[in-house]
Amino acid sequence: MREVLTYWALVLVSVLGVANPIRLSGSLALLGDALAESERRAAIRRACLLSLALLLAGAWIGNHVVLYVGIKTGGFRAACSLLVLALCLSEVLRNRPLGGGWPETPGVRELAQELSLSGLAAAPVLGTVVIYSGETQELWRRGVTLSAVCVALGLSFLLLRLGPKLLEHFGERGMRWLGHVLRLTAAGWAVDFFSIGVRDLLPLITSTPPAQ
């Protein structure tokens, strides 16, 4: 049970760290009067539902797709980890102000797609979920990942809804640095999983038995 709970917490923190709903929340709140409150809530709800569908599908069938196309699991882990590490560190180093990246005339559908496909369910988030779903025969890892994804998106929904209040309390600078904390958490995850991916690839390179 302890292993399951630890794994669940690891998946939850990693998904939140890569998706970074704190930064999304602050950026969305900065739209201000450009979007009516009812439209903002509708966009958040639609984005979370779309992200839930994409991430649950990734957690359930992603490892089968990786196996089907012949990608070695170790190589996939290493490649995704490097991608996430590069994205997270570059975001922290650039330290860009919140805001930007939204459609010029944000509608509910366009905003929801941007929130989901470029944020909550972007490619690095999908890669994270697929990696944590484990090998195709490890159903317990898949179940834990599905559960953690649901909780992560529930927390993301709350953060997005509370965006204006959080921005008022912490300010733009505070929200930005809270987002950096999540990014650095994801970077730590990436380093850890990169080492696991390299370990899994070494037997293929050196023709030695895989690590247990």
Q: Does the pLDDT at position 20 exceed 50?
A: yes
CA distance 120 to 122: 6
pLDDT tens by residue, 34-55: 678 888 899 999 999 999 999 9
- Look at residue 57 in the predicted model and tell me its pLDDT: 93
CA neighbor of 106 nearest in space, from 31, 177, 156 = 31
pLDDT tens by residue, 78-92: 666 676 667 666 666
Contact 74/201 with Cβ under 8 angstroms? yes
> Other C-beta atoms within 10 Å of 80: how many?
21
> Other C-beta atoms within 10 Å of 97: how many?
11
